[in-house]
Amino acid sequence: MRSLLYTTSLILSLAMAWSCQQEPELIVHESSYIPPLYTQLEYRDTGQIDYSAQEFRLSLPFIGDTYNYGWYDGPVTTAEGPAMQINIVHDTNWFVTYLFGVRFWADSEEESLWTAGHLKNMFEPGRVFLFGQGPGRVDLSFAHEGRITHVDQRSRASYLEEPEGQLQIVSTEDYSYLHPIEGHIEGLLVHCTFEGKLGLYDPALTPVTEHFKTDAALTLKNGTAAFLVTYE
Amino acid sequence: MKQLTALLLLLLGSVPVVAQSFSAGLSPRLMAPIVTDATIGQGWGAAVWSRVELDDGKGLALQLGWQEIRGYNSAVEILDTRVLPEGNTWWLEETARLKRLQMWLIDLSFWQQAWNENSPLTLEAGMRYSFGVTGTGNYQFRNIYSIGGATTVSRRGLGEEVLRGHDLGIRIAGYYKLQERLSLEAEAYQGFLNQWENFEGFAGPTTYVTTFSIGLALRLYQTKSL
């Protein structure tokens, strides 16, 4: 009788162990991709002795305290001719805050604007764009500490009477990504360095003066960036 | 059933007229598949079959059947995060859990009676091609865009997105003659192909079809000296 009890218990235990098997391991695969867009520089305000460092890097939003920066590029029409504007902004549901920008004017003789051929020719590695406005020049803009508001308060190279500084193309590469709505996007990833001076934004005068000019300068050095210009 | 028998007869039309006999029938069977983590699942199947005898006590067998295997619990989750140059973010989440597999199968085998042509035991060995393999389980594909907070979710059964859809493997079987038109059959099958589709860039789950089954083989039709 006892052996029958033991045997029954053993069979029941084995049956329970068999039925209590763990769920098979879930195979989880995580991947993420952040494009190599960034801008970093050192700047010195008037009266400032040491340089301050600033970095903008495309990052994941809503994670910790990371600030989400977006890169936007597109052609603009100006009094000096057609240009390509690249802006770094902080975009919330309520406000767009402009932080940094570069505006390149196309060479005056160019006809097929912003095509792959035009952009590769325009951003040929080694080419130097002098700060300023007009064909072959670049206007650089930057909102430093104290000018970061939802109103565009960027200081600009073109605010100086005599723009001073340059941006040099280091290298370029074809770049593409899959946009969930717009599909496959192709463009040119441009790596560059820059240094020079920006005319300081003046909250009292800049918004009301059409051709604002100043002598007060924000000095930039050790600037490097990688930005994307999409092909037309 | 008549149509399937006719189809088998048609398929066997290419068999040389040297065949000594021809028989056809059907087999209901219960299955004991080896599913995830070496556990035993459940299943059932049915097939129509035909045999031609090419020499004394040996020949070819053709079988067309359908089966369902239950008890799998294999799953995968793919999480992909992409930050776009505009600063927008796109999250992709794909989860799939396989519970059952259903498939059509076609077997071509060589058979031989054990010991001599009067033996009640017949052994078979051959290849199986499974097609129309479908899965039952959960599949969810979720897209979340930070652009305006848009989210799209699709839930549906397992389909060609994650499952392979066909299989190829080997089988061995034995038939023991119980009565003149009735045999007891036992079969083992091993599939060669992972039933999950290949996942790019990482090792996903694997599910190979391995089954043992027992059933009855009913002979419905027989003719001698074709």
Residue A15: per-residue pLDDT? 44
| Three-class secondary structure of residue B173 per DSSP | strand
Cβ–Cβ under 8 Å, residues B139 and B159: yes
CB contact under 8 Å between A29 and B79, yes or no, is yes
Q: Verify whether the Cβ–Cβ distance B85 to A228 is below 8 Å.
A: yes
Size of interface A-B (CB pairs under 8 A): 85
Q: Under an 8 A CB cutoff, do A21 and B76 touch?
A: no
Q: Which residue of A has its CA nearest to B37?
A: A24
What phi and psi, each to the nearest 5 degrees, are found at residue A64? 60, -140
Q: Tell me, what's the pLDDT at A2?
A: 52
What domains does chain B contain, in order, with CATH numbers?
2-73+101-134+164-224 (2.40.160.20)
Cβ distance of A29 and B199 shorter than 8 Å: yes
Please answer whether residues A187 and A173 qualify as being in contact, where contact means their C-beta atoms are separated by less than 8 angstroms. no
Closest CB to B84 among A26, A59, A179? A179
Preferred mutation among A26, A27, A58, A99 to probe B, highest tally of B CBs within 10 A: A27
Residue A179 and residue B143: Cβ atoms within 8 Å? no
pLDDT, mean of residues B9-14 = 51
Contact B82 A178 (CB under 8 A): yes
Confidence at residue A18, expressed as pLDDT on a 0 to 100 scale = 47
Question: For residue A183, what are its two tokens?
Answer: 């599909």
Ranges of chain A whose pLDDT falls below 50: 1, 4-5, 8, 12, 15-22, 64
For an interface test with B, give the residue of A31, A93, A97, A230 to mutate (most B CBs within 10 A).
Answer: A31
Q: So what's the pLDDT on residue A92?
A: 67
B52 vs A162, A217, B216, CA distance in Å? 99, 97, 19
Contact list in A for residue B205 (CB cut-off 8 A) is 24, 27
Contacts of B76 in chain A (CB under 8 A): 26-29
Q: What is the pLDDT of residues A109-129, one digit of tens each?
A: 777 889 999 999 999 999 999
E strand map for B84-209: 89-113, 121-145, 151-156, 166-179, 182-191
Q: Where are the beta strands (DSSP E) in A35-68?
A: 38-44, 52-57
Which residues of chain B does A35 touch, with a Cβ-Cβ cutoff of 8 Å?
A: 83-85
How far is B206 from A27, CA to CA, in rounded Å? 10
Q: Which residues of A touch B (CB under 8 A)?
A: 21, 23-24, 26-35, 37, 58-62, 68-72, 89, 91, 177-181, 185, 228
Mean pLDDT of the region B8-26: 67
Q: Pick from B77, B90, B146: which is nearest to A28 by CB?
A: B77
Q: Residue B111's pLDDT is what? A: 95
Q: Number of helices (H) and strands (E) in chain B: give both, helices first.
A: 1, 9
**Cα atoms in the 13 Å half-sphere on the side-chain side of B112:** 6
| Closest chain A residue by Cα to residue B82 | A33
Q: Please report the pLDDT score of residue A13 as a whole number.
A: 53
Whole-complex ipTM: 0.72
Strands B121-145 and B89-113: antiparallel
pLDDT at A12: 45
Q: Please identify which residue in the block is written with the tokens 């040389």.
A: B16
Q: Which residue from B39, B85, B143 is facing A71, i.e. has the nearest CB?
A: B85
**pLDDT tens digit string along B75-134?**
999 998 888 888 788 888 999 999 999 999 999 999 999 988 788 999 999 999 999 999
pLDDT at residue A166, as a whole number: 96
Task: Centre a 10 Å sphere on the Cβ of residue A41 and count the other Cβ atoms it contains.
Answer: 23
Rounded CA gap, A93 and B115, in Å? 83
Q: Among residues 66-95 of chain B, which lie with CB inside 8 Å of chain A?
A: 73-90
Q: Are strands B58-83 and A27-33 parallel, antiparallel or unpaired?
A: parallel
Looking at residues B23-35, what average pLDDT do you find? Answer: 94
Give the C-alpha distances (Å, rounded to integers) separating B220 from B50, B51, B56, B128, B183. Answer: 10, 12, 21, 23, 12
Burial class for B103, CB neighbours closer than 10 Å (0-12, 13-18, 19+): buried
The amino acid occupying position B163 is L
pLDDT over 90 for what percent of chain B? Answer: 58
**pTM of the entire structure?**
0.68
Structure tokens at B70: 């239950």
pLDDT at B1 over 50: no
Residue B79: name the closest of B202, B216, B221 by CA.
Answer: B202
Residue pLDDT, tens place only, B36-78: 777 899 999 999 999 999 988 899 999 999 999 999 988 999 9
Measured in residues, chain B has a length of: 226
Interface contact B36-A72, CB threshold 8 A: no
